[in-house]
Structure 1
Amino acid sequence: MPFPSLPIQLQAPPGVALHLLAWAAAFAAPCTQALAQGVASDAELTPVIVVTGTASHTGLPASLPSATASKTAEQLREQNLFNPEDALQYMPNTTVRKRYLGDRNALLAGRSFGTLQPSRALVYLDGYLISNFLGRFDAPRWNMVSPEAIARVDMLYGPYSALLPGNSIGSTVSVSQRVPKGFEASGRLIGSQQRFSQYGHADNFGSGQLSLHLGQALASGLWLSADLNHQDATSQPMQYATVTAAANGSFPATSGTATRVTGIVYDTEPKGLRRAVFGANAGAIDHTVQDTLNLRAGQKLSATLEASAMASWWHNDTHTRDQSFLRDASGATVWSGVVTDGSNSFSIPLASFAPANRTELHQQLGASLKTRRGPGWNASLVLSSYRILDDAARQANNPDPVAAQGGAGSVTRRDGTGWQTAEAQATWTPSADDWTAGRHSLAFGLHRNTYHLDNAVANVGADGDWRSDEGTRSQDYQGRTSVTALYAQDGWRLADDWKLTLGWREEWFKAYDGSQLASGMSVPYDDRSLRGHSPKAALAYQASDSLLLKLSLGRGVRFPNVEELYNGTVTATSQTLSDPNLQAETSDAMELSAEQEWEHQRLRVSLFRDAVKNAILRQSTSDAAVCKTTATGASSYTCVQNVDRVKTQGVELAWSAQDLWLSGLALDASFAHNFQSKVTANRNDPAMVGKSWLRVPRQRATLQASWRPEAHWLLAVSWRYEGRAYNDAYNLDVNPNVYGGVSQVRQLDLRSAYRFSPQLELALGVNNVADQPAYQSHPYPGRTLFAELRFSL
């Protein structure tokens, strides 16, 4: 095992109907499209400002206009948590596409969106944006969080708050870090071992992590904290070299003398066609060493004013390798060329088994100034900057044995890429004694952000070394976006048991400095200036002390990121086609929920509907016609298109219980079912109409049970389920339970822990106990064992 090298009766009060009609008209009005991405609101995402009523069990204000879910640090210790994104693994109706321990691309999916649309999810760390809206597979920057520093994780569903930008049309996640109350020192040492088998080949893959936390709060009001995280992780194979046969079962013809080999494996690919598999390729096995340093400080400047700041750095050093199954007559490994097993012949390109390396250094800086007066007026200013200081992704042109000596390849750089955000906000809330009918809770804000992407590709010649040389620039795409937003939200107490929340967000967007360089020609793109607006409305009724009913309506706009607008990358075998005129996707969403609380239980039932216009779809295909291109010669085409209409409707249940049948027993369960999630209109591609939306499963379910029989022991079991989903826009993938498909997920996890003293705890766990194979295009991990030692002073 390697180591470090809120509750409702339905009777509207007088005068409400006119307000609701006015807002319904505003909601139905067409809106100008805008490209909106933004930063968190302190009032919306933290439990510090109590709006009204009883604070919900999530720790968030109970008056939020949508459903929520939460996990505290203590609850997170009841599961096997290796990376920060694992905190969301059992959240209701949520998918975390984490392919392996140490994965830098752990994408989120939710009610009406899949992992091909990660820009529909917002993630904040202490109010600073860590979602990366620069590229398709640039996942939230989970790496900026040390697991030992997490205090709680909160999730909000849907675009129902004016305080949040358009990317909230899916889910919004707020990660809060520990703030010291005195001197603190703690840490954990965790190791894992995975057994993975596929195509007759099995191996063990180990990972380790050390996480340390130090904190100090002084009598002067100053507090300081430092978090260090170091991990060394190796993945199971992520992808495989394959050739797919035609519908008649024949493979593509080859020419030239073929080498007789053994080891070719045949299976049936997702669309039901015969497939030949030659090994794990394209840098399939990823060895990553990552380090995170997070420094934070806060100062209480007066009885009502406080300032805080954060500086974080994350470094990654990745080396990949491949595994060919092919052996010639002498037993030597075959990596390329024309090969035959006596029945079929195949041509394997030199680059098929080429490895890749990557080094990255990211920096995040943030500062805030906030008043903490409780009721009355409060204000906040939040500034943040995320910058990629160094990013060199190096790709060889030759297979592993040759590439180990250097030679031809390419290097892709994103140095200087990043984003900056600024938000000023003012809020007013009445005191608890003054919160009577007719009173208002107000929030106003001004938001500004800018995004910058520069993706440059350089070729390294055969006489160079792809591992270190910079080469000659051959391709480049770049661009910038900015958005300025004004918003207002009013929580209006109509009567003792009724509350109406109305909101509006107005946005001004600009895209500029967009260009592509390819084949020696630079193509500039015209600047774009757009304006958009998003109305929101939520009506909550406290039917009794234990029952809350809520109806939420909201519009959100999510516009293309820089990569979707300008990426035009071409390789020897693939082409990526962007669309600088891509339209925004606009979501008109509705949620009707009921939350019932008993002495030991809590149940939430939500009906939701999401109608998205101009949904942004990015797909990869081998058919050039699908991408509306006349280009030929590539084996893979990736393109971004608008889909006219996509509708999703479903029901979601979340239940929790404490000490229900047995003292010390805690239960959490969720179930979600989509009645439909389908394309309902698409003029550009009518064949998609009626088809299921990509990577949105019909059902999701989770169950967690933890038992503390006495102070020292913890026994926990967790289970999660996802129904199969489609990975093909035309739903032609009829065989999902193979590599390349999106299969069902049935995973049972176990954990036990013993606390020797308040300062020392040992935990053992296993994920995927039954070693059930599952795929989100890439294979998920096999059975994985964990050993964890936690200590504190």
Structure 2
Amino acid sequence: LERIEIVRGPYSALYGGTAMGGVINLISADPGKPLTELRLGAGNLGQRGMSLVHRQRYESGLGVSLAVGYRESTGDPNAEEVVKPTTTGAPGTPVTGAVPTTTAAGAPAYMIGVRGARPWSQDHAMLTLHHAPSAATRLAAGIAWGEYRVGYSRPQTLLRNAAGGEVFSGALGVDGARMNVAGTDFLSATPTRERDLRLFARADHRFAGGTRLQAHVSTYRHRFDYAQPVSGVSTYDGGNGDFVRQPNARTDLDVSLNMPVRADWMLVAGVAAGRSSMDRGTVSLANWRDASSASTQINAGKGSTNNQAVFVQSEHMLSDTLTAYVGGRFDRFETEGEVSQDTAPAFLQAFPKRSFSRFSPTVAMVWRATPGLSLRASYGAGFRPPALLDMYSRVVTPGSTAGAVVVVDAAPDLRPERVQALEIGADARLPGGADLSATIYKQQLDDLIYRRRLSAQLSRTENAGRADVDGIEVRAGWPFGITGVRGFASLTHQFRYEITDNPAAPASVGKNLTDVPQTVWSLGLQFDRQPWSGQVVYRHVSRVFGSGDDLNQNLAQGVYGAYDAYGTASARIRYQVDRQLSLALSVDNLTDRRYYVLTRQPGRTVFAELAWRF
């Protein structure tokens, strides 16, 4: 990558419904800047990695960009704890070793073991061919592929019987109470595999007079599958299970014209179209460790969406110091799908085609008040269409409490989530080389898509009436008084981020939005004094209420299933041995802090890397 551009919020008219929170634009490096670099690395937790990058433009005019990489780890053996509550009834066989704890909701429970490390590996490759038939025209096409795999290892139990033997199942007695433990409580939904394939092509042509035509087409194929045991039946080595496959596909096309109407007026206009599809199914396995042992189908869900859009954005330089932006995008979506179940009670529900349209306007002003100070204000509206997975599938996954499952029902009637956003900000370059940026924002979300808990095991994705978010974002950088050393800091804080109206679930009104921290801040130091360079960063994230906890009931911290408030420090140091060779060392969670983000997070991790440029 040459650079990364970020536009926060729904303040660009050029993008559609998946960009209501902002846009991240990855700019690929030009093959005209030749580079061949090999990186090799290793670290704790069995980490190993390799990557190769090659960029070159040959005499024929053909440019080649190639990137391949591989990364693996044996996994964290302590990440997935087995947490189990006691139940009513007479105590069973006495055991020792259970560690008192609570569930995320604060109910008494015991930690009785760990599910074992989940070794993982990922690899990727990307090839892009560039050609410029003339000085005004640039063409590119390529293919990208990636795969991510997660394995399994034997679980460990803390439970011991009177003879000191390991106990994995049975009606047990723990501290005078009954606990029913199944062998499947110690098992995780593995192996899993994820595979991506993307084909793309783009064209860029500059006409006489400065008008620029850009076109981009891509097709993406994603396959995700995993196996899980049947609760209370399977063992670590085998037994009945389920296999979930979830292939989906997406094709996109967009064409735009960037036209200089006058010296002080730029206009961008274009069209876009796309199609997405999903075909999810669950089949039974005779052996849950063997995907080829599939037999009958249990349930299925499939669906598709089509969308078309037109957009325009106009940039007006009203004076040397004042610029205005105004634009809008009109999107039309169609969707249809079906959900079926082949076990009792069997059913097939087909959901006919329905459509919805949205217009998303934007307006912004930027005033360069002084050479070192810019003031800005923006208003934008956007939307996010519901995901095919939420509308047309019934998902069953293991819960954070051993033996429990979480069922998320299909929600075929979901409406698009809408947002109106307003922000006011300033960017300043201060004397001495410091810089400061501050933004105050207000957002109103209607038909918010969120997950509502209907019972301890059943949730459904629904539209809430309304949610409001008010917050501030601040970023700063400053020289540290030492050559090559610079400090930096950032803060995002939500003054308000709560559901303000929800007739379907009045108890959720006033509750904080799920999956959103109230405060995130970081403070760091960068240095670059060749041949040494690096940085040290401390990052803090406040407590989060996870998906499905729409009533904010999970208040426990420091236990499995919780989303803790935490702060971690990380560091990276690099030494440039010569023009070709460099050495680097990265350390995350420097203080080896123990905390949970659903699962227990890794302690201190170390990764060393060697880079060689040819």
What is the deviation of 1:374?
9.2
User: What aligned pairs does 1:318-357 form with structure 2 within 5 A after superposition?
Assistant: 318-321=150-153, 322-355=155-188, 356-357=190-191
Kept in 1: contact 2:31–2:64 (CA 8 A): yes
- Taking the aligned partners of 2:591 and 2:506, their CA distance within structure 1 comes to 42
Kept in 1: contact 2:362–2:381 (CA 8 A): yes
* Residue number in structure 1 paired with 2:545: 726
- Taking the aligned partners of 1:691 and 1:392, their CA distance within structure 2 comes to 34
* Residue number in structure 2 paired with 1:215: 55
Change in 2 beyond 3 A, CA 1:716/1:575: closer
What is the deviation of 1:772?
1.7
* Residue number in structure 1 paired with 2:94: 260
* Residue number in structure 1 paired with 2:556: 735
- Taking the aligned partners of 1:277 and 1:374, their CA distance within structure 2 comes to 71
What is the deviation of 1:397?
3.2
What is the deviation of 1:173?
1.8
* The one of 386, 397, 420 aligned to 1:588: 420
* Residue number in structure 1 paired with 2:273: 448
CA-to-aligned-CA distance 1:605-629 (integer Å, 9 cap, x gap): 100011101111124x4x52xxxxx
- Taking the aligned partners of 1:152 and 1:272, their CA distance within structure 2 comes to 45
The answer to whether structure 1 residue 224 and structure 2 residue 64 are counterparts is yes
- Taking the aligned partners of 2:567 and 2:441, their CA distance within structure 1 comes to 25
* Residue number in structure 2 paired with 1:612: 445
Change in 2 beyond 3 A, CA 1:471/1:583: same
The answer to whether structure 1 residue 521 and structure 2 residue 347 are counterparts is yes
Kept in 2: contact 1:411–1:471 (CA 8 A): no
Kept in 1: contact 2:182–2:232 (CA 8 A): no
Amino acid corresponding to residue 165 of structure 2 in structure 1: A
- Taking the aligned partners of 1:701 and 1:465, their CA distance within structure 2 comes to 43
- Taking the aligned partners of 1:372 and 1:669, their CA distance within structure 2 comes to 40
Structure 1: state its 5+ residue gaps. 1-149, 194-204, 245-250, 625-634
CA-to-aligned-CA distance 1:322-369 (integer Å, 9 cap, x gap): 333223334433222222234222112343223421234321111001
Amino acid corresponding to residue 219 of structure 2 in structure 1: S
What is the deviation of 1:375?
6.6
Amino acid corresponding to residue 344 of structure 1 in structure 2: A
Amino acid corresponding to residue 747 of structure 1 in structure 2: T
What is the deviation of 1:285?
2.7
- Taking the aligned partners of 1:508 and 1:716, their CA distance within structure 2 comes to 46
What is the deviation of 1:426?
0.8
Kept in 1: contact 2:67–2:125 (CA 8 A): yes
Change in 2 beyond 3 A, CA 1:573/1:737: closer
User: What aligned pairs does 1:171-186 form with structure 2 within 5 A after superposition?
Assistant: 171-181=22-32, 183-186=34-37
Kept in 1: contact 2:47–2:71 (CA 8 A): yes
Q: Normalised by the size of structure 1, how large is the TM-score?
A: 0.72
User: What aligned pairs does 1:137-156 form with structure 2 within 5 A after superposition?
Assistant: 150-156=1-7
Amino acid corresponding to residue 465 of structure 2 in structure 1: D
- Taking the aligned partners of 1:677 and 1:179, their CA distance within structure 2 comes to 42
* Residue number in structure 2 paired with 1:688: 508
Secondary structure of 2:19's partner? helix
Structure 2: state its 5+ residue gaps. 398-403
Secondary structure of 1:718's partner? strand
* The one of 486, 501, 507 aligned to 2:310: 486
What is the deviation of 1:741?
1.7
User: What aligned pairs does 1:645-656 form with structure 2 within 5 A after superposition?
Assistant: 645-656=466-477
Amino acid corresponding to residue 514 of structure 1 in structure 2: E
CA-to-aligned-CA distance 1:4-28 (integer Å, 9 cap, x gap): xxxxxxxxxxxxxxxxxxxxxxxxx
Structure with a larger share of its residues in strand: 2
What is the deviation of 1:410?
1.5
- Taking the aligned partners of 2:276 and 2:213, their CA distance within structure 1 comes to 26
Secondary structure of 1:537's partner? strand
- Taking the aligned partners of 2:63 and 2:265, their CA distance within structure 1 comes to 34
Kept in 2: contact 1:354–1:400 (CA 8 A): no
**Higher relative contact order at CA 8 Å, sep ≥6: structure 1 or structure 2?**
1
Kept in 2: contact 1:182–1:218 (CA 8 A): no
* Residue number in structure 2 paired with 1:239: 80
- Taking the aligned partners of 1:530 and 1:776, their CA distance within structure 2 comes to 36
Amino acid corresponding to residue 282 of structure 2 in structure 1: V
- Taking the aligned partners of 2:213 and 2:132, their CA distance within structure 1 comes to 15
* Residue number in structure 1 paired with 2:226: 393
Secondary structure of 1:320's partner? coil
Kept in 1: contact 2:392–2:412 (CA 8 A): yes
The answer to whether structure 1 residue 576 and structure 2 residue 408 are counterparts is yes
* The one of 267, 270, 292 aligned to 2:124: 292
The answer to whether structure 1 residue 547 and structure 2 residue 373 are counterparts is yes
Kept in 1: contact 2:11–2:22 (CA 8 A): no
Change in 2 beyond 3 A, CA 1:763/1:562: same
Mean Cα deviation higher: 638-647 or 182-191: 182-191
Amino acid corresponding to residue 190 of structure 1 in structure 2: G
The answer to whether structure 1 residue 496 and structure 2 residue 320 are counterparts is yes
* The one of 280, 286, 307 aligned to 1:461: 286
Amino acid corresponding to residue 130 of structure 2 in structure 1: G
- Taking the aligned partners of 1:341 and 1:515, their CA distance within structure 2 comes to 43
Kept in 1: contact 2:35–2:55 (CA 8 A): yes
Amino acid corresponding to residue 505 of structure 1 in structure 2: R
Mean Cα deviation higher: 722-731 or 303-312: 722-731
User: What aligned pairs does 1:649-728 form with structure 2 within 5 A after superposition?
Assistant: 649-657=470-478, 659-709=479-529, 711-727=530-546, 728=549
- Taking the aligned partners of 2:233 and 2:29, their CA distance within structure 1 comes to 44
The answer to whether structure 1 residue 304 and structure 2 residue 144 are counterparts is no
Secondary structure of 2:220's partner? strand
Kept in 1: contact 2:79–2:602 (CA 8 A): no
Kept in 1: contact 2:137–2:205 (CA 8 A): yes
- Taking the aligned partners of 1:637 and 1:752, their CA distance within structure 2 comes to 47
Kept in 1: contact 2:88–2:177 (CA 8 A): no
User: What aligned pairs does 1:505-520 form with structure 2 within 5 A after superposition?
Assistant: 505-519=329-343, 520=346
Structure with a larger share of its residues in helix: 1
CA-to-aligned-CA distance 1:230-284 (integer Å, 9 cap, x gap): 111233244333234xxxxxx42257x8333222111133333212222224xx6
Mean Cα deviation higher: 293-302 or 507-516: 507-516
Change in 2 beyond 3 A, CA 1:729/1:573: closer
Change in 2 beyond 3 A, CA 1:181/1:669: same
Kept in 2: contact 1:353–1:398 (CA 8 A): no
Kept in 2: contact 1:397–1:403 (CA 8 A): no
What is the deviation of 1:398?
7.0
Kept in 2: contact 1:230–1:292 (CA 8 A): yes
- Taking the aligned partners of 1:567 and 1:401, their CA distance within structure 2 comes to 25
* The one of 465, 473, 476 aligned to 1:644: 465
* The one of 386, 389, 412 aligned to 1:563: 389
User: What aligned pairs does 1:109-124 form with structure 2 within 5 A after superposition?
Assistant: none
- Taking the aligned partners of 1:478 and 1:424, their CA distance within structure 2 comes to 29
- Taking the aligned partners of 1:583 and 1:354, their CA distance within structure 2 comes to 37
* Residue number in structure 2 paired with 1:420: 251
Identity of aligned residues (%): 24
- Taking the aligned partners of 2:531 and 2:487, their CA distance within structure 1 comes to 19
What is the deviation of 1:373?
5.5
May I ask how many residue pairs the two structures share in their alignment? Answer: 600
Kept in 1: contact 2:234–2:240 (CA 8 A): no
Mean Cα deviation higher: 361-370 or 338-347: 338-347
Amino acid corresponding to residue 409 of structure 1 in structure 2: G
Secondary structure of 1:402's partner? coil
What is the deviation of 1:214?
1.5
Kept in 1: contact 2:184–2:233 (CA 8 A): no
Q: Normalised by the size of structure 2, how large is the TM-score?
A: 0.92
- Taking the aligned partners of 2:282 and 2:552, their CA distance within structure 1 comes to 34
